[in-house]
A and B are shown apart, each in its own frame.
Chain A
Amino acid sequence: MSDKEILMEVKDLVTRFYTEDGVVKALEGVTFSLYKGETLALVGETGCGKSVTALSILRLLGMSGKTLKGEVLFYDEESKKRLGMTGKGPIEILKLESKQMLKIRGFGMSMITQDPMTSLNPVYTVGEQLLEVIELHKGMSGDEAKKEALRLIEDVELTPPEEIFKKYPHQLSGGQRQRIVISISLAAEPALIFADEPTTALDVTIQARVLELMQELKEKFQTSLILITHNLGIVAETSDRICVMYAGRVVEVADKFTLFKRPLHPYSQGLIAAVPVVTEKRDRLSYIGGTVPNLIHPPSGCRFHPRCPYATDICKEKMPELKPVETEDHLVECWHMDEVLKDLEEKGGVC
């Protein structure tokens, strides 16, 4: 990231789900930015709001979900052109009309869904599902569109493309299907792709290849990627920066190396420590005590305080804010940074 050009800024996103059991406070002020061409990993436990963040930005929360507050500023020139916007300012995604949003989805930002077994419509052929995006966003039709679809199938290394084109999803394997989902998300060459656990449902043997492929295609199309995962191995392998989320808040943002070597937020520390290392001899796996909080009645103040070894009264009362620690790019939200840093000194600087 030498030229740090910003693609998207997400500011103070607040999202709620209205369920029969109560209001789920899924996102409570999520803030992060994304640079052009980078891979940003959103990591955290299940239910911490990773996927909801993506859906909030794409505005696909469905009927029970609503984003109450916040800003999503999207700096993609192509999308601005498509919307007919002139001038310097970014697109304010959350203020677009739903019709305008249709021009952004698939074109400016798209999505790779989690489970390839259920992500493709079973009653249409792969070709039909690919053509849909091409016709919609590239203005192609007939033979030209079909050629483009075949090229996309080739891009994700499925052969022979002619045959794959005619197949129904159930005639393909999980890995093949996920490649098709990837090609659909790439079809209009969007500036940003959300990949929600893109390899979780795949066999370990093909996970690596699918990730590699995504990486190659991302570079080829100069796309930014927001990778949603709880698999820290994948994060280490593929991402540039990491955004750690906990119970609807971003608790720490840093580049990959910093975050793995010197995580500062007590939650990130616990998360990294929980990754088993084969070369080290440990008697027991490390874990974070307690459980993920219920987001209908989230803890007051800092949402991590019930599980945090550093917690004091202030943590129960006031929510901390993301602040740079040590360097400009390392953001942490914690009331007790001083103590955490002191502890780190004693341990020799590394977690």
Chain B
Amino acid sequence: MREYIVKKLAIAILVLIGVYTITFFLTFMLPGDPARVSLGQHGSEEAVELIRQQWGLDEPRYVQYIAYLKGFVKGDMGVSFRYYPREVIDLIKYRFPVTAYYGLWSIIFAVLLSIPLGVIAAYKQNSPFDNFAVLISQIGVSIPNFWLGMMLIAVIAVRLGWTNPVPEVEYGYYWTPVGFFVSLKDYALPIITVGTGMMASNTRLTRSSMLEVVREDYITLARAKGLSERTVILKHALRNALIPVVTNVGLQFLLLVGGAVLTETVFGINGIGKLYIDAINYRDYPVVIALTLIYTGGVVIVNLLVDLLYSKIDPRVSLR
């Protein structure tokens, strides 16, 4: 097991270098000069040139490439162009808590709703409840989440006035023990916006996986033993049915970042997603590269966790 983790992490380093290389050259291929963007249309040529020198943009590409790489190895992610002279790492550290907060709740929301929904739907296949669950998940999968976000703002926040259209919670309060739950009211709409799609796909997966598992011989045998339906379904069927669902939830952690870009734009949340999209718009390359690399690291770690969880759920999986 330890050997497996070490091996995966070693591969991760290669992946990170690859991703860094591709991102570096792709961002610099984008049209538009960061120095020009930051000074605006009326900045003088001299001023732009001065800034280019200051940011090292006048150096050849490969020199810049190596300089950044050296920085990353030392844990230095460089300085933001847009918020010069703030460190990229500080920007990310500042923006991360809020995205983590509603992201985590979105996953909790999706998992807590989808698994019971999927299990009951499968158990009562073709019943009205099942049809309802299938319909809900079909709709949930098809709705684009930015549209859902806007509709939620329009109906629930503006028309009904149940909550604020834009979360109004003091920075960091949501990570205090009380605030973690109290802030739910303000963040309910973003959580639903991000969580609905996840919930929908998880429900479908749980349902179909359960339907497959309950046809297995060992379920017939479990019933023939005289076990109650509850035990048969919750103990014997569910654990087997969850194996594909775990993979899906793992993937959803990664989809959060994509969801965050849209959701944070719609709800005006100053999180990672907003930082990412703004950085691209303002040609803030150091931030773009740093976030992409952190995201890649996240993918590797989540995949590793999914693998570990796999081997816990299914004894047939051995990590090598």
Contact = CB atoms under 8 A, between A and B. Distances in A.
Nearest to B242: A123
A193 to B, nearest CB: 10
Interface in B93-123: none
Given A122-B314, A184-B225, A60 B125 contact: no
A133 interface: yes
Nearest to A111: B224
| Residue among B125, B221, B226 with the highest chain A CB neighbour number at 10 A | B226
| Residue among B125, B220, B240 with the highest chain A CB neighbour number at 10 A | B220
Interface residues of B, number: 20
A102 B220 contact: no
B41 interface: no
B236 interface: yes
A119 B217 CA distance: 5
Contacts of A118: 216-218
Contacts of B305: none
Given A118-B216, A121-B218, A123-B313, A106 B240 contact: no
Contact of A63 (B125, B228, B316): B125
Contacts of A124: 236
Given A102-B228, A114-B217, A122 B223 contact: no
B313 A113 contact: no
A250 interface: no
Given A122-B315, A168-B315, A115 B227 contact: no
| Residue among B216, B217, B221 with the highest chain A CB neighbour number at 10 A | B221
B316 A133 contact: no
Contacts, number: 71
Q: How large is the interface on A (under 10, 10 to 19, 20 to 34, 35 or more residues)?
A: 20 to 34
Nearest to A130: B225
A105 B223 contact: yes
A118 B240 CA distance: 13
Nearest to A171: B315
A181 interface: yes
A115 B236 CA distance: 18
A235 B199 CA distance: 53
Interface in A138-171: 168, 170
A102 B223 CA distance: 8
Interface string A178-215: 00010011001000000000000000000000000000
A278 to B, nearest CB: 34
Interface string A81-125: 000000000000000000000111111001101110011111111
Contacts of B227: 102, 106, 132, 136
Interface string B198-230: 000000000000000000111011111111100
Q: How would you classify the secondary structure of chain B's contact residues: helix, strand, loop or mixed?
A: helix
A58 interface: yes
Contact of A107 (B222, B226, B236): B226
Contacts of B223: 60, 105
A278 B271 CA distance: 81
B222 A121 contact: yes
Contacts of B236: 121, 124
B120 to A, nearest CB: 14
A312 B220 CA distance: 42
A184 B236 CA distance: 15
B61 interface: no
Nearest to B314: A123
Given A118-B216, A136-B226, A168-B315, A111 B221 contact: yes
Contacts of A133: 225-226
A250 B236 CA distance: 35
A119 B221 contact: yes
A305 interface: no
A218 interface: no
Contacts of B226: 102-107, 133, 136-137, 188
Nearest to A125: B315
Interface in B276-319: 313-316
Given A122-B315, A122-B316, A170-B315, A110 B240 contact: no
Contacts of A170: 315-316
Contacts of A102: 226-228
Contact of B224 (A105, A115, A120): A105
B240 A121 contact: yes
B70 interface: no
Contacts of B240: 121-123
B170 to A, nearest CB: 46
B239 interface: yes
30 contacts: A60-B223, A60-B224, A102-B226, A102-B228, A103-B226, A105-B224, A105-B225, A106-B225, A106-B226, A107-B226, A110-B224, A110-B225, A111-B220, A111-B221, A115-B217, A119-B217, A119-B218, A120-B218, A120-B221, A121-B240, A122-B218, A122-B314, A122-B315, A122-B316, A123-B313, A124-B236, A132-B227, A136-B226, A170-B316, A185-B224
The list of the 6 closest CB pairs from A to B, nearest first, reads: A106-B226, A105-B226, A111-B224, A106-B225, A118-B217, A121-B218
